[in-house]
Amino acid sequence: MRFARRKLDVTPPYVSMADIAFNLVLFFLILAKTQDDSNRLDWVPAKAAGGQAIKNPLISVTVDRDNRVYLNGQQIGLRDLTEKVAALLGDKPPTERSVVLKIHHETLAATFEPIMEAVSQAGGEVVHVIEEERPS
Amino acid sequence: MAAGPVGGGSGGAQTAWVLNLLTDLAFNLLIFFVVCASTAEDEKGRPQQMPSASKEKAAEQKNTNIEVAIGRTDVKVNGEDVPPAQVKAKLATLLAGKTRPEDKIVVVKSAKDAPYSHWIKVTGAIEQAGGAITLQLEEEQEVVR
């Protein structure tokens, strides 16, 4: 007895592929967002007026709740700060020399003033990250 | 993901399968826009033009420029206590007649225990009043024996 060979009709699952593509986009978006190590540091910004949106900051200096200083998410000593910021800034034009300072609101001047001085000496433009104060 | 069987079936089953896929897509789109919205939130920052803090220069400027001393909770302008809320008005008055940029320099001296939240408000008021900030750092004392 002979059986007729059935022809297999395989259609690629285009809709499922679109799902996978979307999920991949989401995966890379979330990955890119968590790349910035300074997001995981424990600090609360000071409230003040006059804030402007910061676009793509290249260098960030963070002071956390425990007065630890971080350069781009990596803990660093104050003595090395000027040298390392200067190295990161290199020969960048003045418009790209912004250094964002994420200083915990309770940090004392004894800690944050030397940081500002170090950034200033390295040729960086200080940008304080603040929380916009709403008028009461 | 709720992908149904590939192929077809009865009319009702096919409708259910298409609906499943559409729901999947709708969820993915929703998550996509939620993630996009959360990344679009920019941090707010305040640029501060700060001439390099030099002890000698600050000492020279001390005699001619306005001096603001920031304490733990208080503020002194040229040695006179000023409520923090009135610093802007006070400085605007003092800077009113000054036209040259070098005359608008305000020397800021902070107590070691002045918190950042207080400091940023006072320096913000100085800038809003038209002043240019220069930090005066406390000199390290060398003990000579």
Annotated domain spans of chain A: 39-132
Q: Which helix (H) or strand (E) holds B20?
A: helix B11-39
Is pLDDT of A57 > 60? yes
Please check whether residue B29 touches A, CB under 8 A.
yes
| Chain length of chain A | 136
Q: What value does the CA radius of gyration of chain A take, rounded to a whole number of Å?
A: 25
Please check whether residue A78 touches B, CB under 8 A.
no
β-pair type (A98-103, A74-75): unpaired
Tell me whether residues A109 and B36 touch, CB distance under 8 A. no
| Distance in angstroms (rounded) separating the CA atoms of residues B107 and B96 | 17
pLDDT tens digits for range B8-66? 456 677 788 788 878 877 887 888 788 777 655 567 788 887 765 555 555 555 557 88
| Distance in angstroms (rounded) separating the CA atoms of residues B140 and B131 | 27
Tell me whether residues B46 and A105 touch, CB distance under 8 A. no
Distance from CA of A88 to the nearest CA of B (A): 19
pTM: 0.71
Q: Indicate the range of A34-38, A105-109, B74-78, B120-124 predicted with least confidence.
A: A34-38
The mean pLDDT value for A13-35 works out to: 77
Contacts of A110 in chain B (CB under 8 A): 112-113
**Nearest chain B Cα to A111, which residue?**
B112
Evaluate whether A54 touches A100 at the Cβ level (below 8 Å).
yes
The pLDDT, as a whole number, for residue A115 is 92
Label residue B41 exposed, middle or buried (CB < 10 Å: 0-12, 13-18, 19+). Answer: exposed
Tokens representing B12 are 């009702």
Tell me whether residues B25 and A128 touch, CB distance under 8 A. no
pLDDT tens digits for range B74-109? 999 998 999 988 999 998 998 888 888 888 889 999
Instruction: Calculate the average pLDDT of chain A.
Output: 83
ipTM value > 0.85? no
Is pLDDT of A14 > 90? no
The mean pLDDT value for A112-131 works out to: 90
Tell me which residue of A22, A68, A25 sits closest to A43, measured CA to CA: A68
Tell me whether residues A130 and B53 touch, CB distance under 8 A. no
Percent of chain A scoring above 70 in pLDDT: 90
